[in-house]
Structure 1
Amino acid sequence: GHSCERRRLRHIMHKVKPTIVRNERNDSEAFNESWRWLDSDQLVAAGASVRVASAMKGSAAGSDFKTTGALRQYAAACSASLMVMTTGAWLGWPSPAIKKLLANQTEMVVNHEQISWVVSLMDAGSAVSPIPAGFLMDVIGRKAILLLTGLLFAVTWLMPLVLQTPLVLYIARFLAGMGKGVAFTVAPMYIGEIASTRIRGALSTMFAGLLWSGTMFEFGFGPFISYNALLILSLVMPVAFLATFIFMPESPYYLVMKRRNEDARKALKWLRNCPSVQPGDDIDANPVEQELKEMKKNVSEEMQNKGSFKDLVTSRSNRKAIVIVLLISMFQRTCGISPMLAYSSVTLPETGTFIGPNQIIVVFGFILTISNFLATPLIDRLGRKPLLIFSGAGCGLVTCISAIFYYVHHQTDIDTSSFLWIPYVGICCFGLTHSIGIGGIPHTLLSELFPQNVKCYAASLASITFALSSFAINKVYITVSTSVGVWAMFTFFAFNGLMCALFSAFVVFETKGKSFAEIQRILHKA
């Protein structure tokens, strides 16, 4: 067996290069270090089989190419996430823009009711596009639909710059919402399908990191430059996406689905930075060929019966997966992130110090971004489930404390001037706890839990859930805050944070380090 070959190779290496092999330990690291300098021809000449020599050579090459392959996957994921960065910019744009619009610093005049529609119409648009996007990404490909959406985003930044009327702003926000729906549907799918198992979680977390980078961009520049200048600067993001993503490979999973096996092989070779199979090499030992073979097998099994929306509820495993993804997606928004992004500049109390709402939203955006990148290595070390529990409980605690403050501040005669720092610290802590778990993990789970034949439908439903949750929260926030009080909305956010923690603890299962096949087996047993 293989162990016999290993013992035989030890003997061979002593014959070929006795100065190299000094350590007779049995650990594989020392063994690999000793043989990796040997040429496969030397091993064969010394008596090793071609199969083992080729496999050993391939394994050594794999370690040499591992770092560069990971960098290429990060580059592709980062480029795709520039689309999401544009979405984040549109999410953060209302906070600095609302003050300029209400202060008549633009050519148009708007009221509070129109502002509520400007904020919420983006979410209405993002509820429309996920289902068509789910179909189109299986027809024209992940890469093509993302590039088309990049063009759409560029148009949305140009429209309110050229024609400054409330109607044009409504249309631009609605179209940006459609782009958001596509980005939230297709980008996580693309990232999950190009990533190797070892770094899949980290790459998926980049989705949320770049999302909040776009938001921080608006928070950082918006309060300090003109309305038109902000629109022009924001246009840079979709342009950067188009300029870089056009050079990235298509998803190898999509290419296998379309029976474009040679294109899939080329895409995998680039993404894994793996050399081509040379004459005399064992094809089965090549990591790209192994992965492509497994990919073909998985896609073939999953595509035997063409998927549909009905399969999300008729299959027991899909039912559990869709419940997990949809509820976690809903909790991501009902914890309060959407109103905090849009309305913080008009919700936070003025402190009378150098730190006011305009300054703290910059800090908020910075925390959202940095904490997401900090979560990138944690998600594959600590796992998805512990981070979800921590994040839900943390968001619930922070918003509960903020709810108490806003109740005392607005509903009683108690002097709160010494405690105005509470909502400021609260929004910073919320940014940290939200981003480290619930902010990014729903997108990771979406790319992991569903078989290929229904993944596009699940992605569509998840995007619709994001959109409808945000639309409802953003539309009622001003009404409830005015008629009942800000404390009522923050109490609602706290309740949802607690529900998220409990749901994650008792229903969500860990997917860290598991292949797609292993995850499907767990769901089938559930």
Structure 2
Amino acid sequence: MTSCGLESVKSEKKGNICTLGLMITSAAIGGTLQYGYNLAIMNAPTVYIQQFVNQTFQKRWDIQLQVYQITLIWTLIVSVFSLGGLTGALLAGPMSIHFGRKKTMLLNNVFLMCSALLALTSREAESFEMIIISRFLVGINAGVSMNVQPMYFGESAPKHLRGAVSLSSAVFTAFGVVLGQVVGLKEILGGESCWQYLLASHAVPGIIQLLTLPWFPESPRYLLIDRGDKDACLKALQHLRGCEVQREELEEMLAEQAESKCSRAVLPWELFTDRTVRWQLITICVMSSAMQLCGNDSIYFYAFYIFQKAGIADEHIQYVTIVTGTCEFTACILCNLLIEKQGRRQLLIGGYVLMTCWALVFTVALSFQHIVHWMPFLSMVCVFTYILSFGMGPAGVTLTLPAEIFNQAARPAAYMIAGALMWLNLFILGTIFPFIVSGLGQFCFVPFAAVCLLTALFIGLFLPETKGKSLPMITSEFNRLNSCKLEMTRPKYKKAQYQLGEVCRSTAL
């Protein structure tokens, strides 16, 4: 090959990676970024919204609310986000099947814009109920995004980059947390006069997505396997890969299309009765539940108390809190760089083992913080390292698993189940965590340590490595646990090979 030809190939590959990167950014900035962002922005205006609720009751009914009543309404405002997320997770499957992955993400912005409008006008309307509805709607948006976006990434990425591309969902979630913490500073939108603008600011990433995502193609796998549109699939692949459409990738997709030719999309409850995917289902149930029950989100809530005990002035804690979000963001980026080298199992096991260790150290630090003067600073270190350990594996790898271990027909249902469990556990943990703290005191993180240790043992015993493997290879490893052997029929294989030959000839492969 001439030097000119080499330069052409290099520039083409660079352009392909650039296209893939822009597609990831466009989808994620209005997708999983919203989850992290809308979790973080609620810390800054807590006092102001509580005052607003109290003033509303005084103006309407001349009632002065008690502290516990204000706290109860505030808890509803915060927790309804999780209920919206649960609703969104249940909607994500049917929407992604009917509309496709890309169009679902675009339509999902309807919930976002309605939420922003309600939040923006709630103060003028003197209605805290509008804030509750706004949080529920943005929760639906986040619930749909957390399911559909990893599905879109997993189906659009080349096999050698599948893990890194899917993990970018977690990177943008962590970036959303940092962004929400920064925007929520008193000097920006976290002040008393503009909290309604802070609650409505999530519309900006949504607008960016609406303007940019239509320029990128639908998931190639969805186009071929669900829609049966071979030409559109090839165009999408060429858009994302350039002219180098790999024969192996097409062969795998056509084989999967032939296998699922006479099958329809699987319903969530059908997965529970299908013995051939029993351990795949157990895996996503355990991993999705552990992602919330490990206590990472709870440690964010506990951070203010830790920093206060360490002697940091209250007015400076908001700046130190940004470091917690930065830790997870940094760890997710490192995980993104390592996932294709280290594999999924190693990152997951390592993350949960480290979290177990730091939870135990955290317990010791909390137990002796009134006796040893430097123990509060050890507690601060535990906050940062616990979050770093979570970001290095569980935060990102968990979202990639349903796309890698389920076929096209079962994937939406698998994401629905995984998403529903994640949001349900987030709601339960957010509700009972104050009681755990009051009941167990300094031992409140011992249950989280137990969850992390048991999850690490489960991964080590039952989860096969998926790095660089095709779906049939991963399925065959799970079949050893499922005690069944699935084989494609010869006619399907012949049909897939014939289709591949036709495609190859038409694209001059």
* TM-score bin, normalised by smaller chain: 0.7 to 0.9
Q: Partners of 1:400 and 1:473 in 2: how far apart? A: 19
Tell me which amino acid in the other structure corresponds to 1:206. Answer: S
- Using the TM superposition, give the Cα deviation of residue 162 of structure 1 relative to its aligned residue in structure 2, in angstroms: 0.8
- The aligned residue for residue 464 of structure 1 is 420
Alignment partner for residue 401 of structure 2, among 404, 423, 445? 445
**CA contact 1:116–1:474 (8 Å) conserved in 2:** no
Other-structure match for 1:238: 206
1:383 paired with 2:343, answer yes
1:436 alignment partner, one of 380, 385, 392: 392
For residues 233 and 125 of structure 1, what CA distance do their matches in structure 2 show?
18
Partner SS, residue 223 of structure 1: coil
Which residue in the other structure is 1:90 paired with? Answer: 38
Relative distance call for 1:342 and 1:81 in structure 2 (3 A) is farther
- The match for 2:149 among 187, 192, 197 is 187
Q: Is the 8 A contact 2:237 2:245 kept in 1?
A: no
RMSD after superposition: 2.6
Indicate which of 137, 142, 150 corresponds to 1:175. 137
Q: Among 450, 453, 468, which residue is 1:495 paired with?
A: 450
**In 1, Cα distance between equivalents of 2:54 and 2:249:** 55
Q: Which residue of 1 aligns with 2:484?
A: none
Residue number in structure 2 paired with 1:112: 71
User: Which deviates more, 247-256 or 153-162?
Assistant: 153-162
Indicate conservation of the 8 Å contact 1:399/1:490, yes or no. yes
Deviations 1:224-283 (A, max 9, x none): 232234235433221222222121111111111212221111111000011xxxxxxxxx
Give the CA deviation at 1:345.
Answer: 3.3
Once the 2 structures are TM-superposed, how far is the Cα of residue 373 of structure 1 from its aligned partner? 0.9
What is the CA-CA distance between 1:333 and the residue it aligns to?
Answer: 0.7
State the partner residue of 2:227: 258
1:200 match? 162
The total of aligned residue pairs comes to 457
- Decide which moves more: 95-104 or 468-477: 95-104
- Residue from 344, 351, 361 that aligns with 2:310: 351
Paired position in structure 1 for 2:105:
146
Q: Structure 1 residues 403, 112: closer, same or farther in 2, change over 3 A?
A: farther
How far 1:287 moved relative to its partner?
A: 2.7
Counterparts of 2:17 and 2:471, CA distance in 1: 19
Give the structure with higher Rg (CA): 1
For residue 508 of structure 1, the aligned residue among 457, 460, 463 is 463
Give the match for residue 363 of structure 1.
323
Gaps of 5+ in 1: 1-35, 40-56, 275-285
Residues 339 and 98 of structure 1: CA distance in aligned 2, closer, same or farther (over 3 Å): farther
Equivalent residue letter for 1:378: L
Equivalent residue in structure 2 for 1:300, among 255, 258, 266: 258
**1:77 aligned onto 2:39:** no
Kept in 2, the 8 Å contact 1:303–1:453? The answer is no
Task: Using the aligned pairs only, state the percent identity.
Answer: 23
Taking a change above 3 Å as real, the CA distance of residues 344 and 148 of structure 1, as seen in their structure-2 partners, is farther
- Judged with a 3 Å threshold, the aligned counterparts in structure 2 of structure 1 residues 519 and 108 are, in CA distance, closer, same or farther, namely farther
Q: CA deviation at 1:375?
A: 0.9
**Displacement of 1:312:** 1.9
Counterpart amino acid of residue 260 in structure 1: D
Distance 2:185 2:248 in 1: 53
- In structure 2, the partner of 1:478 is 434
CA shift, 1:288, in A, is: 5.1
Contact persistence 1:91–1:342 (CA under 8 A): no
Matched, 1:327 2:289: no
How far did residue 488 of structure 1 move? 4.2
Cα deviation digits, residues 309-368 of structure 1 (max 9, x gap) = 354234444111111111111111111122234553356534334685322220011111
SS in structure 2 of the partner of residue 287 of structure 1:
coil
Task: Note closer, same or farther for the CA distance 1:475–1:197 as it changes in structure 2 (3 Å cut).
Answer: same
The residue identity in structure 2 corresponding to 1:74 is: G
Q: Hey, what does 1:67 align to over in structure 2?
A: 14
The change in CA–CA distance for 1:197 and 1:508 in structure 2 (over 3 A counts) is same
SS at match of 1:94: coil
Are residues 340 and 244 of structure 1, via their aligned partners in 2, closer, same or farther at CA, if it must alter by over 3 Å? farther
Q: 1:157 to 1:346 in 2, by over 3 A?
A: farther
Q: Is the alpha carbon distance of 1:61 and 1:368 closer, same or farther for their aligned partners in structure 2, counting shifts above 3 Å? A: same
Give 3-state SS (helix, strand or coil) of 2:407's partner: coil
On the 8 A contact 1:92/1:218 being kept in 2, the answer is yes
Shift in CA distance, 491/116, structure 1 to aligned 2, threshold 3 Å:
farther
CA contact 1:158–1:231 (8 Å) conserved in 2: no
| 1:70-114 C-alpha deviation (Å, 9 max, x unpaired) | 222222122211111012111112222324434669976872222
Q: TM-score, normalised by structure 2?
A: 0.83
TM-score normalized with structure 1 length: 0.81
Report the more deviating stretch, 329-338 or 126-135: 126-135
What are the superposed Cα offsets for residues 130-175 of structure 1, whole Å, 9 maximum, x if unpaired? Answer: 2332012111111111111123223223322211333222211111
Instruction: Say if 1:243 and 1:393 are closer, same or farther in 2 by CA, change over 3 A.
Output: same
Do the aligned residues in 1 keep the contact of 2:53 with 2:128 (CA within 8 Å)? no
Q: 2:494 maps to which residue?
A: none
Q: Does the C-alpha gap of structure 1 residues 176 and 246 become closer, same or farther in structure 2, counting only changes over 3 Å?
A: same
Among candidates 159, 163, 175, match of residue 122 of structure 2: 163
